[in-house]
Amino acid sequence: MGPKLLKKGEKFPLDENCHHYTKLGEVPWDIQKYWHQRFSIFEFYDYDIHLTDSAWFGVTPEPVATRIARDLSTHPIADGKRVLIDLFGGAGGNVIAFALSSGRWDRIIAIEKDRSTLACAQHNAEVYDVLDKITWVHGDCFEVMKRFWETRGTKGRGREGGEAAKGQEQEDDNEELDGLLAGFKLEECLVFASPPWGGVSYRDQEVFDLSKMEPYNLEQLYKACTMPEEEKEEHPSTQKQKRILPQALFLPRQSDLNQIAALVPEGAPKIDVIQYCQKGASKALVAYLPGNIDADKEEKKQYEENRGQKKRKQDDDQEQTIPELLPEAPKEASEAHDAYDTSYAQDIEVDTSKVDNAEKRKRKRRRRSSHNN
């Protein structure tokens, strides 16, 4: 069965693989150190955050995810982009942060292959009150991206007049997903990927070979974001340039930068590689890779103006709905997160002068109020 687009309001139930550990004795030994950092991973962990045991290894800590969301929203590769596709939604660490980015994205797609992990992600997004701001897809991200390109007519399997090409038997779920993907303009799309790194063995390597990353290597990720070539011979003078979506790749901190640089097309702008740190140590890097599909300048200008008006209205509405009196958060959660977040902001190798914590404080108060009610 192919990937499935979940309808608005459709939510996978938590199952036996989804856990909210409250005592150390409940926690498997190999994830106990991550459980001790639970308030750094999800600030509102005590508000019934759930994860699968495997998700503890890959979830992005909330302060790092929040900063990446801020950086990506204003990065040059995101100019004119309105649709964000998260290839590895996981338990929701990154996609929740993207959804909290004050309406920056018109559409956020979260793809997750494992049903239990997706159930956790949806549940956690509900805790953060952003469940309906995310479009959820259950399935393999490479299959989804394959369909993304197929809806654009690559290799003879495109759509014409809104109907599937001849010989293609589409199930209802696939037709709905194809319809969604076909509705996106290429120049509006940007891809974020936080893939599995193949366990913890990467930590022992001074320079991590991204061609050996498991189960998906760097080349596979980049290829998924590149329009497949037509299966026909063309003279070099008439050959079309490959169309490549811009990408933000969340990778091990000691990744081979030469391998990353080798992906960028000739003549493309230089790439940014930013190390994201906590408590004085780099935890990962994000490579911001430019694509070669740009929106019309006038269209981008109009979009930015409309988005600015929309954001100001949302901020005004949020300000009006915040209760005046709210209970305090659990002391342990507040202390853990405050110490973590301060260290992170000092160590990150980007400009921190634009960090605005007002919206974050509003979200904290709303979550506490909702939980206590």
DSSP string across 288-313 = EE--S----HHHHHHHHHHHHHHHHH
| More confident of the two residues 12 and 102 | 12
Contact 168, 157 (CB under 8 A): yes
Express each pLDDT in 320-358 by its tens digit.
Answer: 433 333 334 455 555 544 444 433 433 333 333 333 455
Give me the mean pLDDT over the 280-306 stretch.
71
pLDDT at 4 exceeding the cut of 60: yes
Once rounded to an integer, what is the mean pLDDT over residues 102-121?
94
* Per-residue model confidence (pLDDT) at position 277: 87
The residue type found at 278 is: Q
SS3 328: coil
Q: Is the pLDDT of residue 95 over 90?
A: yes
What is the DSSP code string of 197-264? -SSSGGGG-SSB-GGG-SSS-HHHHHHHTBPPPPSS---TTTPPPPPB--EEEEE-TTB-HHHHHTTS
Q: What is the mean pLDDT of the chain?
A: 79
Q: Residue 165 has what pLDDT?
A: 41
pLDDT at residue 31 is higher than 50: yes
For residue 7, pLDDT over 60 is answered with yes
Name the token pair of 198: 């193949």
What integer is the mean pLDDT of 45-57?
96
Give the whole-number percent of the chain exceeding pLDDT 70.
68
pLDDT of residue 239: 46
Does the pLDDT of residue 132 top 90, yes or no?
yes
Domain ranges of the chain: 62-152+177-228+243-298
209 three-class SS: coil
What's the start-to-end Cα distance of the chain, in Å?
A: 41
Q: Angle at Cα 105 formed by Cα 355 and Cα 318, nearest 5°?
A: 60
pLDDT grade, residue 148 (50/70/90)? very high
Q: What tens digit of pLDDT does each residue of 153-208 get?
A: 754 343 433 444 433 444 566 788 999 999 999 999 999 999 998 765 666 778 88
CATH 3.40.50.720 at 62-152+177-228+243-298, yes or no? no
What secondary structure does DSSP assign to 159-179, as a single string? -BTTBPPTT----HHHHHHHH
78 or 352, greater pLDDT: 78
Are the C-beta atoms of residues 181 and 151 closer than 8 Å to each other?
yes
